[in-house]
Chains A and B, each alone.
Chain A
Amino acid sequence: MKRVISGNEAASLAVKLSRVQVISAYPITPQTTIAEKLSELCGSGELDAKFVKVESEHSAMATLIGASSTGVRTFTATSAQGLALMHELLFWASGARLPIVLVDVNRAMAAPWTIWCDQTDSLAQRDTGFLQFYCWSNQEILDSVICAFKIAEKLLLPCMVCYDGFYISHTHEAVEIPEQSDVDKFLPPRDAEYRLDTKDPRTFSGGTLPANFMEIRYKLQKAFEKAPDVINTTYGEFDKLFGRSYSAVEPYYTDDAEAVLLASGSAASTAFHAIRKMRQSGIKAGLLRLRQFRPFPEKELLSYLKPNIKYGVLDRDLSPGTGGVIAQEIRAILNRNNVRIDINEFIAGLGGRDITVDNVTEILLKVRDDKGDKLQINWVGLKN
């Protein structure tokens, strides 16, 4: 059934369809309507899950770590400072290999105080051991959350599904809502091999000596290396059942492009619109949409990045002292693979600043006409 719903409602419905058993969340703008909707669903009995009220995001994640250890399916959602407050426990969730799914409704990190969108909050959690996906439509949110549970539980890795605050979270558009029975076919109940059980007491993530810690960490890295195959298999199964396919990186109009923009989230969506218009006026622009940030889709990106094309990376984030986070990551894989491609780095849309068709057009023309001066970070629409 297709219905016009908001991005946050799409996330909530996906949680319900995934038959999550324990939810713990603390409300924060722009995530709030997820926490509200889920507590309503739990309250009315439509969703047979325990909603644990907590006094902070830190406690929400701690609650889920405990709950997930018992083998149940768990979910939380947050934004910005809330995600930052969870920080230390994010490491614990991945180290303990708990398949917790977290929705981060992207919001800029204060100060100064802001409730509007950018992606610094989730990108700053890149070393915590969470898989990270970025959505550009409400349909994709619903599908990604359902897939996230399957991927997370196969890999024993926690998973973060991210989308832009307000630009997507509060936008209503038509979403195909799958039948519960179909989702049940796709996503069976979680079957945890090890679970916290008072009748069969085990030690979980107890003090680990130097002799063993590295091996545990190595296994974590190996799980991330295995992730692309598991993710692709999952997308394949999803496509078969629901007729919608996803991948880590999506190329649009890249084959014959002179200038390609690499972007994610709502900025990629608007860029797509802008590029189609540019194509109509004969400008050979293209788009690489980054859907997945962890594991960083090295193989996929390398297959699309061509030395004869000029690239711009749009970062709706900032790592002060270096620049855009995604640009850094792209440079790292290019370097590691001895690929000589210059990229232009653009910082745009911080703190909810609108990214318009004009912005995208200006960026791509700049990339196309670039004469080789790559060192400077381009700030889009910066006022003097």
Chain B
Amino acid sequence: MPEMAVSESSMDWNKTGSWRSSTPLHKNITPPCNFNCPAGENIRGYIDLLKDKKTKEAFELLTEANPFPAVCGRVCYHPCQASCNRSSLDREINVRKLERFIGDWGMENVNKQALPPTASKKIAIIGAGPAGLSAAFYLRKQGIAVTVYDENSMPGGILRYGIPSYRLEKDVLAKELDRVLHGIEFKSNMRFGSDFDISDLLGFDAVFLATGAHLSKTMNIDGENIPEVESGLNFLKTANSNGSGNLKGKEVIVVGGGNTACDTARSAYRFGAKVTLVYRRTEAQMPAFAEEIEQLKKEPIKIEFLTAPKNIRKTDGGKLGVTFIKMKLGLPDSSGRSRPVPIADSDFEMSVDKIFTAIGEDPDLSFFGNARIKTGGEFDFSDIDERLKARLFVGGDILPNPRTVPHAVGSGRLASEKIAAFLKGEVLTQSEDIEVIAGPGDINFDYFSMINLTKRGSHPAESGFANMDEASSEAARCFSCGVCDHCDNCHNFCPDMAVIKTSNGYHVNLEYCKGCGICARECPRGSLKMDGTE
């Protein structure tokens, strides 16, 4: 008998697996950043590559979903960050800067990506904005010949004509467009209906319509048609095309609370105007992105909430007289937001030089024959020319998605997939699996320590990382929510040595796994759960 309580022979015979009532399963779930990316980027994936300073691989992975990392690293509103689980510990990962870092690397290092030769299939795309160009990029990558038509002289659509240069530098856009358009035929100054028509499209195997939403909604008030009352979109387009728009000393009203209103107000201020933004609800109901509102509030721009214009008229001095009425918030309307209700006898007057309206946009489909959008947002194909109908695809801001750049990019890429399937005589099927999202409850916070972020170099939100080290140390903060990064915790903690390392992950030896669940408990990121079935 030994001196201590020890088994005299091997305990291999004791197949503790027979005790098991639940089984560990290594199964990745969806990181919230990936789930919330309208462009469908594998954000966790490229952050993981940046941890190891693999910028080239990160660029390749990112551009599998979004051809515009430099653009989106500047103008995207990054819902990924808002959903980042790290915010439960210290602060969310700065995905914006990481994306921008990758995009800027691409501008410096990637000129012309190698493309396969084009086969016989040909696609026409109408609209050279983010949706059209994304579709073009991914179709061309598959060896499909692409011709892009646009009514403007330059490609980019909203990126060029809608977004002010202080948010997206023109040279950045130019460089990125240059890379995206490589191998793609671009036909400028081609407006459908006037410069070309259906007969020109009949030689194509499919057509993608992505002309966006450029029709400003009207206010339906008197005086709206006075020339000094202009749509914000129009103003932005002029300002962005030729940089004109001298408003020095002019008093300007911008009506609206969305992103266009913010861009219009901030651009007008940059052209020298004294700007007042009026919005009929309060800040909480503004449809603009939080970032945009924050930036707007930092500018010397006056904001009048709960205020709406009632009528406009030209006064003797050449100025505009505007009557406003104050509003209060009433019951919610169909959008779910509180409906603004006019307050009786609250009218007041202002005298201004210009009014820009930015209260929403609609797609302008007048050029496309009888095309229209059905109630509920679907594109109505019923009256489309029979010769086109079967091979017409629609996407981008025409559809009532949230009208953002990443949504347009995602919509364009989805269209490319549908078209590619269509060309093979198939219909794109989408997975019906319910995605499980990794939330804070899936994270074992004991494995992560707070980082004093105030000690790190501070850069203005608008700028990028100074160098690779900064970017990779930010990337290193990522939890890799829901996705196994082979940390070996399950292997190390298993009291029965039943979690065995394999070449690409782990295998659970069910002969000995007694289902204690320690592995799942010690998984830092929720990619291992005790819910395996046998």
Contact = CB atoms under 8 A, between A and B. Distances in A.
Contacts of B6: 194, 202-205
A228 B367 CA distance: 106
A208 B1 CA distance: 14
A90 to B, nearest CB: 15
Contact of B4 (A156, A198, A200, A201): A156
A95 B5 CA distance: 9
A129 B12 CA distance: 32
Interface string A195-216: 0001011111110100010011
B10 A202 contact: yes
Interface string A208-245: 10001001100100010000000000000000000000
Contacts of B318: none
B504 interface: no
| Most chain B CB inside 10 Å of its own CB: which residue of A95, A198, A201 | A201
A194 B9 CA distance: 10
A40 B517 CA distance: 39
A256 B10 CA distance: 61
B2 to A, nearest CB: 6
Contacts of B2: 193-194
A380 B5 CA distance: 47
Nearest to B497: A198
A201 B494 CA distance: 14
Interface in B203-262: none
Contacts, number: 41
A201 B5 contact: no
Contacts of A97: 3-4
Contacts of A206: 5
A202 B4 contact: no
Contacts of A223: 3
A158 to B, nearest CB: 12
B5 A212 contact: yes
A205 B2 CA distance: 11
A200 B6 CA distance: 12
A223 B1 CA distance: 14
A215 B2 CA distance: 11
B530 to A, nearest CB: 23
Given A200-B10, A201-B12, A194 B4 contact: yes
B453 interface: no
A97 B1 CA distance: 14
A203 B7 contact: yes
B11 interface: yes
Contacts of A212: 5
B16 to A, nearest CB: 10
A219 B1 CA distance: 10
Nearest to B12: A201
Nearest to A206: B5
A201 B7 CA distance: 9
Contacts of A215: 1
A206 B3 CA distance: 14
A208 B2 CA distance: 14
A201 B3 contact: no
A216 B12 CA distance: 24
B3 A205 contact: no
Interface string B2-40: 111111011110000000000000000000000000000
Nearest to A200: B10
A96 interface: yes
B3 A202 contact: no
Interface in A25-82: none
Contacts of A193: 2
A97 B4 CA distance: 6
A223 B11 CA distance: 27
B3 A156 contact: yes
A208 B5 contact: yes
A216 B2 CA distance: 9
A156 B6 CA distance: 13
Contacts of B11: 201-203
A202 B7 contact: yes
A193 B2 CA distance: 9
Nearest to A212: B5
Contacts of B12: 201
A51 to B, nearest CB: 20
Nearest to A194: B6
A216 B3 CA distance: 7
B497 A95 contact: no
A332 to B, nearest CB: 26
Interface in B475-534: 497
Contacts of B5: 96, 203-206, 208, 212, 216
A45 to B, nearest CB: 26
Nearest to A222: B3
Interface string A95-122: 1110000000000000000000000000
Contacts of B4: 95-97, 156, 194, 204-205, 216
Interface string B121-140: 00000000000000000000
A37 to B, nearest CB: 30
Nearest to A94: B4
A191 B12 CA distance: 23
Interface string B433-464: 00000000000000000000000000000000
A102 to B, nearest CB: 18
A201 B495 CA distance: 11
A213 to B, nearest CB: 8
Nearest to B10: A200
Interface in A117-156: 156
Contacts of A219: 1, 3
Interface of B: 1-7, 9-12, 497
Q: Would you list the 3 A-B pairs with minimal beta carbon distance, nearest first? A: A97-B4, A203-B7, A202-B7
Given A202-B10, A216-B4, 13 more contacts: A97-B4, A198-B497, A200-B10, A201-B10, A201-B12, A202-B9, A203-B5, A203-B7, A204-B6, A208-B5, A215-B1, A219-B1, A223-B3
16 contacts: A97-B3, A97-B4, A156-B4, A194-B2, A194-B4, A198-B497, A200-B10, A201-B11, A202-B7, A203-B7, A204-B5, A204-B6, A205-B4, A205-B5, A212-B5, A216-B4
Interface of A: 95-97, 156, 193-194, 198, 200-206, 208, 212, 215-216, 219, 223
